[in-house]
Amino acid sequence: MSTIALNASTAIVAIAIVLLIFLMKMVKTVPQGYNYTIERFRRYAYTIQPGLNIVPPLFHRVGVRMNMMEQVLDVPTQEIITRDNATVAVDGVAFYQVIDAPRAAYEVANLNSAIMNLLMTNIRTVMGSMDLDQLLSHRDEINTRLLTVVDAAAISWGIKITRVEIKDIVPPADLIASMGRQMKAEREKRAVILEAEGQRQSEILKAEGQKQSQVLEAEGRKEAAFRDAEARERSAQAEAAATLVVSEALSRGNVAALNYFIADKYVKAMQAIASAPNQKVVVLPMEATALIGSLAGIGEIAKATFGEAAVQARRGGSGVPHVDTRQS
Amino acid sequence: MMPDPSPVAVWGWFVVAALLMGAELAAPGAFMLWLGLAAAATGIVHLFVAMDWPYALLLFAVLGVAFAWLGRRLAARADADAADQPFLNRRAAALVGQAFTLAEPIVGGEGRIRIGDTVWHVSGADAPAGTRVRVMRIDGGRLVVE
């Protein structure tokens, strides 16, 4: 066939080729994690899901290939002035996910930059209404506030801001230094206070101990005094009892016995004085005659033995107390 | 046109089928496969029915489209069966039918609930905080609750 004959076979081949092109155009395989919007005459018609899809090849085309996975958005560092006029550098990170592909595709142009600008302005707003100390200690609250505000704004774009996190808050260097100093001073103060507390406690404990020991000592003394008194009482009682016994013995017996004992003691005392090694001179500050006279006791015994008359006859006077033992 | 009984044309279809399926194996796209199947089917038909190559080409194209449709149907059924991860990349859809407790009241048809460390905006009838609500459907990024 040197020339193309316009016959049935040519037509058939043409139809077949068109069909094959149709086939190529109508089979759309969407990868997992994406949704494609389909436009009919350049107007949004429907969304096709991941997997094998057949799209009518005429008048239909794929509009936007929308990523349905959660995406990370790095919020660049920006300078923020807090309520107490400290300038801090803040950066953050946000996560968002497209929930509604057609809205995200057609409601907003340039989704990423829209979210980014929304985030940056809201970070300024939220952080500008706080003090620096609050900023550093209330990160959770900041994140929650940001999330609520930004998410509410982004809802009409068919996306969900899942989280907003402030990564780093960097105050100026001199502020950091003074914060460090403040912290150090705080610790120092605590240490000093603790030391003083310890000293006070130890002083108190020492004084307590001293007091206790003094009290105990006094108690000991008091106890001892009581015992001493008791001992004195006891010895007095014993003395009394002994005296009682002696006087009872006297009343029952003879006084001459007593005289004998006294004489015995006198003689013993004299002997001790005389035999003392350092005494050569003995001064007797008493009537020696009295001592001799104490022999009257012996006289009494004799009188009792030999009769009164014999004794009376030889008697002058004596220094020894004369105990009259005559019974009437 | 004389019928072309030469086996070259017949086996040619099988060669084409093998090439197409090989291409599908090399680059899976679920598109070459249908053409490959169509080519193989055309070859089989050709074995029994003598036909001119234009007709065979037409048959091949028609079969290709038909197989693509069939494949789509099969894939849809497979998708319905594959309930392994039905809510992959469809986080909002996963919430439909679940019940949650309102942390803040719904006022003027607008409110918020906390689900899994994030906040979802809900719309529904006004209700005080602490009410149990059930997610009925998704409306854009909002959850419609009752």
Task: Quickly list DSSP for A71-138.
Answer: EEEEEEEEEEE-TTS-EEEEEEEEEEEES-HHHHHHTSSSHHHHHHHHHHHHHHHHHHTS-HHHHHH-
Total number of residues shown for chain A:
328
Instruction: Quote the pLDDT of residue B6.
Output: 61
Burial of A9 (0-12, 13-18, 19+ CB in 10 A): middle
Measured distance CA(B97)–CA(B102) in Å, rounded: 15
Q: To the nearest whole angstrom, how far is the Cα of A41 from the nearest Cα of chain B? A: 23
Measured distance CA(A267)–CA(B18) in Å, rounded: 159
Question: Tokens 């100390």 map to which residue?
Answer: A133
CB A82 within 8 A of CB A136: no
Q: Which residues of B touch A158 (CB under 8 A)?
A: 140-141
pTM of the full structure: 0.62
Q: To the nearest whole angstrom, how far is the Cα of B61 from the nearest Cα of chain A? A: 5
Q: To the nearest whole angstrom, how far is the Cα of B25 from the nearest Cα of chain A? A: 15
Q: Which residues of B touch A9 (CB under 8 A)?
A: 1, 52, 54-55
Instruction: Quote the pLDDT of residue A67.
Output: 94
Burial of A70 (0-12, 13-18, 19+ CB in 10 A): middle
When scoring A15, A20, A24 by the number of chain B Cβ atoms within 10 A, the one with the most, hence best to mutate, is A20
Tens-binned pLDDT, residue by residue, of chain A (328 aa): 445 556 777 888 888 888 888 888 888 888 889 999 999 999 999 999 888 888 888 899 999 999 999 999 999 999 999 999 999 999 999 999 998 899 999 999 999 999 999 999 999 999 999 999 888 898 888 998 899 889 888 888 989 999 999 999 999 899 889 999 999 999 999 999 999 999 999 999 999 999 999 999 999 999 999 999 999 999 999 999 998 888 888 888 777 777 888 888 888 988 887 787 775 566 655 555 566 666 666 777 667 767 665 555 555 555 455 555 555 4
Closest C-alpha among B55, B125, B140 to residue B93:
B140
Given a cut of 50, whether residue B63 has pLDDT beyond it is yes
Chain pair A-B, CB pairs under 8 angstroms: 110
Total number of residues shown for chain B:
146
CB B57 within 8 A of CB A12: yes
Q: How many CB atoms lie within 10 A of CB A121?
A: 14
Q: Which residues of B touch A147 (CB under 8 A)?
A: 118-119
Closest C-alpha among A151, A97, A299 to residue B89:
A97
Q: Do A20 and B117 touch (CB under 8 A)?
A: no
Residue A310 contacts B where some CB pair is shorter than 8 Å:
no
Contacts of A317 (CB under 8 A, 6+ apart): none
Q: What is the DSSP pairing of strand A159-170 with strand A87-98? A: antiparallel
Residue A250 contacts B where some CB pair is shorter than 8 Å:
no
Measured distance CA(A236)–CA(B50) in Å, rounded: 159
Determine the 3-state secondary structure of A283 from DSSP: coil
Instruction: Quote the pLDDT of residue A14.
Output: 87
Facing A19 at nearest CB: one of B65, B71, B92: B65
B21-32 tens-digit pLDDT: 888 888 776 678
For the CA atoms of B87, B89, B90, B91, the dihedral, rounded to the nearest 10 degrees, stands at: 90
Facing A9 at nearest CB: one of B1, B71, B121: B1
